[in-house]
Amino acid sequence: MERIGAAFRGVPLLANMVEGGRTPVLDAPTLQAIGYRIAIYPALAFLAAAAACERAYATLKTSGSSSALTVPLYDFNKMSALMGFDWVGEFDLKHRRIDDTAQGIQ
């Protein structure tokens, strides 16, 4: 990476930081020092999520409950808002067929 930074001095370089990938993951000051102006971490979130899921489901399997989780959980209301569940509920209420309500679907 240092050779590339030196060879392309003055050209905006992008470092693709993939944890567990072929390129060593370097910190921002090091990347800047060797000539990289942008760094992306495309795998970080899904690798972290997969590790959290693995731990959460292992705990559920062994304990039979989610109450023993040591993995922090994202706030349910924030997740609902992030996923647009409020909008889905509003859409459903607005466009639900009248006969659905008559059949007991609420």
13 within some domain: yes
Is residue 44 over pLDDT 60? yes
Measured torsion, CA atoms of residues 49, 54, 55, 58, in degrees rounded to the nearest 10: 150
19 within some domain: yes
48 within some domain: no
Residue 103: pLDDT band (50, 70, 90) is low
What's the number of domains the chain is made of?
2
CA distances from 13 to 17, 21, 30, 34 (A): 13, 18, 13, 10
User: What is the radius of gyration, based on Cα positions, of the chain?
Assistant: 24
Which pLDDT belongs to residue 100? 57
83 within some domain: yes
58 within some domain: no
Crossing angle of the two packed helices 85-95 and 76-83, in degrees rounded to 10: 60
Higher pLDDT, 64 or 88: 64
Residue 103 lies in domain: 74-106
